[in-house]
Amino acid sequence: KERLTLEAEKLKVAGEMAAGVAHEIRNPMTVISSFVQMMNAERHNPYREYTAVVETELKRIDEILSEYLVLAKPSATIKSDLNLHKLISDVMILFGPEMNNRKITATVDSVAACAEVVAEEKMMKQLFINLLKNSIEAVENAGIIQVKIENQNDHFIDITITDNGVGMSEEVLNKVFEPFYTTKEAGTGLGMMISQKIINDHGGKIHIESEMDVGTSIKVTLPVVPTNSPVYA
């Protein structure tokens, strides 16, 4: 228990520092990006092959920074009433083209009498983007992803994301929330850590069940109204 608390504290400090640095890197990055874009647009640029790579890699840095910026707590966190069925369906639309291409079937079913929670919209979107992205990356073509929303009781909502993808080994399960832990060639290893942080910030819980070559089921439990809700809009 003691070790976990220290570990969590270390992560929090590292996350806040990284978020601060990410903000600072963003500005010079914007300048570099705009000049590289200009170079790429230049007809007679003899280095187009190289500047195109620069642009791609800048995009990748930008992706990593975006994942970090979520860790930077805005000064006022605004929580509002959110319908999770609508929010998750909206997030699904973002992945529509990719799922279409790969013939992935995704469904969002709500058996919740009330799928509303008080939460920060941006954070909730980021959470379900991260989790759905992992499921999409875990399944083969024609894979199946199912999201189920249900009321656990009057105070908690369960959102379960199930995929029939590659699944996780014991080792992956143990390390999945560690920053930078990834089994993917181009992974950042930040998605699950950030998801866990968002869930913790909302007073929720995450539970993973996974079997290799069978699939993964991730259950997120969120309080309908977080007890530590500082601002209610």
- Write out the residues near ligand ADP by the rule CB under 6 A: 130, 134-135, 138, 163, 165-168, 172, 176, 181-184, 187-193, 216
**Computed from CA positions of residues 176, 181, 182, 183, in that sequence, does the dihedral angle turn out positive or negative?**
negative
Q: What is the dihedral of CA 38, 43, 49, 50, to 10 degrees?
A: -40
**Computed from CA positions of residues 61, 62, 63, 68, in that sequence, does the dihedral angle turn out positive or negative?**
positive
At its nearest, how many Å lie between Mg ion and the CB of residue 72?
Answer: 19
**Are 87 and 121 within 8 A, CB to CB?**
yes
Residue nearest to ligand ADP (CB): 191
Closest to Mg ion by CB, 191 vs 204, is 191
Closest to ligand ADP by CB, 163 vs 223, is 163
Closest to Mg ion by CB, 25 vs 129, is 129
At its nearest, how many Å lie between ligand ADP and the CB of residue 66?
Answer: 13
Which of Mg ion, ligand ADP, none does 181 bind, CB closer than 5 to 8 A by kind? ligand ADP
d(CA 47, CA 112): 57
* Chain residues that interact with Mg ion, rule: CB under 5 A: 134, 191
Closest to Mg ion by CB, 36 vs 138, is 138
**Are 220 and 197 within 8 A, CB to CB?**
no
